[in-house]
Structure 1
Amino acid sequence: MLLREKMETEHFSSSEKAIVDYILKEGTNIQNKTVKEIAKATYTVPSTLIRVSKKLNYNGWNDLKEDFTRECEYLESHFLNIDANLPFKNNDTIMSIAGKIATLKKESIEDTLSLITHDDLQKAIQIIKKASCIHLFAVSNNLLITQEFKHNMARIRKDVRIHGLQNEVIFDATLANPDSCALIVSYSGETYVLDNIIKVLKNKNIPVIVITSIGDNTLSRKAECVLRICTREKLYSKIATFSTDSAITYLLDVLYSCIFALDYDRNLNLKIETSKSIETGRFSTVDILKEEEF
């Protein structure tokens, strides 16, 4: 749940509600406002602002202000001219549709990049690096997206096991080795079966990386490391999961590339030599596709 959604649904007293309404109206303008200034503008007292912060599970006003401002800046950036849920209309030409889908995918990747922090990415890389095996859990369409990640990682001898067989995923989580790690992909972060899986993994002290949307959700609260993706789509009211798919694919590509880079020369030589021996029959008459002899 987004912070602004919490602020709109939480029960507040009349004086607290005055402050919340003011914050929601001002948006990023609250960044440079002090407790006294907000209290004066809302005809309340500074202690009321502290109570609002506590109700929203913050230690104080500065922590609340920082998160709220960051969320506002994210929601106001990118996607200014395109709707992730309905990126094209029924009267668009085929070339207009082609252009809008391209824009949507580019925006989704840039949006996801803006959510990546160095520390979170570094933590995920170190977890994967140390693990003997990466157990990957997802459902529905997200499960299909992860296949390319498994394929790429296998080419550099990193074992990724995708678990998607219905009624077997909890069993698989229970059997996971202590020196492995888990990667869970969930846009909402509230999928029932994935919540059960993360409970099992936590009980076994297996580190969990979660790829999910922004805001507070069940899976992100329980994970050792959280990587956020572009959060612009509704759960159901959309043409397709264009934006989410692009964001997840991009983030998995980033993880693979960072693991690859840990031993760049060895992995590159391994990839090239393996491909050369397997794909001996491939050729092209187009110069740009032709391989150079090393």
Structure 2
Amino acid sequence: MLIQDRFEKCTFSNSERVVIDFILNQKMDIQNMTTKEIGEATYTAPSTLIRIAHKMGFQGWNELKSAYLQELKYLETHFCHVDANIPFLENDTIMSIASKIAILKKESIDDTLSLITHDDLQKAIQIIRKASSIHLFAVSNNLLITQEFKHNMSRIQKHVEICSLQSEILFQATLAASSTCAIIVSYSGETDILNRCILALKQNQIPIIAITNIGDNTTARLSDCVLKICTREKLYSKIATYSTDSAIEYLLDVIYSCVFALDYQYNLDLRMKTSQVIESDRYSTVELIKEEHYK
């Protein structure tokens, strides 16, 4: 859940609610305001801000303020051109639709890139590097998206286990070896079966990488490493999962590429040699994509 949503839904006293309303109204303007100045503007004591922060699980006002401003900056500085939920309208031409979907996918990737931090990505790659194999957990549409990641990783001898039967994934999590690691893909972060898998994985002391939204959610809290993706779509009030799909695909491609780069020349040689043997009968009349031995 986003901080601004938690502001709306948490239980606060009357004086605390006055301060919350002020913060939500002023938005980025609170950046340079002290607790004293906010207190004077709302006719409340500066300590009210500290109580609000504690109620929301932060150590103090400065921590809450920093997190809130960072969230606002993300929400206000990205995704200006297309509505992620309704990217095109009834009267749009087919070329207009084509253009808007292209813009949406590009913005989703740019948005996700802006959320990647070096330390989080490095932590995820090191977890994968040390693991004997990867268990990847997802449901519904996200499950389909992960298949390409499994395919790519297998080409550099990295084993990824994906269970396609939702009724069986909890067994897979429970029986997972401690030498492995896990990737959980959950846009909402509140999918019950996936969070139950996390609890089972933690019992086996298996490190967990979460791919999820930017807000506070159960999956993120339970995981060892969190990689955030573009968070613009509603859960179901949308034409399709264009934005989320692009964000997840991009992030999985980034993970694969970073793992590939850990032993770049070996992996490149491996892919070239095996592909040349397995796909030697592939042919094209287009000069641009022809392989050298056909020229």
**TM-score, length basis structure 2:** 0.98
Offset of residue 292 of structure 1: 3.0
The aligned counterpart of 2:108 is 108
The aligned counterpart of 1:186 is 186
Deviation sequence 1:274-294 (CA, Å, 0-9, x none): 00000111112212102235x
1:238-277 equivalences in 2 (<5 Å): 238-277=238-277
Offset of residue 143 of structure 1: 0.3
SS in 1 for 2:194: helix
Amino acid at match of 1:180: T
The aligned counterpart of 2:33 is 33
The aligned counterpart of 2:13 is 13
Distance 1:121 1:115 in 2: 10
SS in 2 for 1:167: helix
1:152-163 equivalences in 2 (<5 Å): 152-163=152-163
1:122 equivalenced with 2:122 (yes/no):
yes
Deviation sequence 1:105-160 (CA, Å, 0-9, x none): 00000000011011100000000000001001100000000000000000000000
Distance 1:191 1:11 in 2: 25
1:38-117 equivalences in 2 (<5 Å): 38-117=38-117
Distance 1:157 1:87 in 2: 39
Tell whether the 8 Å contact from 1:137 to 1:164 is kept in structure 2 after alignment: no
Tell whether the 8 Å contact from 2:154 to 2:160 is kept in structure 1 after alignment: yes
SS in 2 for 1:32: coil
Deviation sequence 1:200-256 (CA, Å, 0-9, x none): 000110001010011111111000001000000000100000000000000000000
Deviation sequence 1:47-103 (CA, Å, 0-9, x none): 111111111111111101100000000111222121000000000000000000000
Distance 1:66 1:85 in 2: 28
Tell whether the 8 Å contact from 2:139 to 2:166 is kept in structure 1 after alignment: no
Deviation sequence 1:250-282 (CA, Å, 0-9, x none): 000000000000000000000000000001111
Tell whether the 8 Å contact from 1:124 to 1:225 is kept in structure 2 after alignment: yes
Distance 1:10 1:169 in 2: 34
**TM-score, length basis structure 1:** 0.98
The aligned counterpart of 1:204 is 204
Distance 1:37 1:72 in 2: 20
Aligned residues: 293
Q: Which moved more, 1:172-181 or 1:90-99?
A: 172-181
Distance 2:92 2:122 in 1: 43
SS in 2 for 1:89: coil
Distance 1:174 1:59 in 2: 34
Q: Which moved more, 1:72-81 or 1:122-131?
A: 72-81
The aligned counterpart of 1:235 is 235
Unaligned runs of 5+ in 2: none
Distance 2:69 2:166 in 1: 41
SS in 1 for 2:151: helix
Q: Which moved more, 1:236-245 or 1:41-50?
A: 41-50
Amino acid at match of 2:159: D
RMSD: 0.8
Distance 2:238 2:106 in 1: 18
Deviation sequence 1:175-221 (CA, Å, 0-9, x none): 11110000010000100110110010001100010100111111110
Q: Which moved more, 1:9-18 or 1:263-272?
A: 9-18
1:171 equivalenced with 2:171 (yes/no):
yes
Amino acid at match of 2:35: V
Tell whether the 8 Å contact from 2:137 to 2:182 is kept in structure 1 after alignment: yes
Unaligned runs of 5+ in 1: none
Amino acid at match of 2:164: G
SS in 1 for 2:167: coil
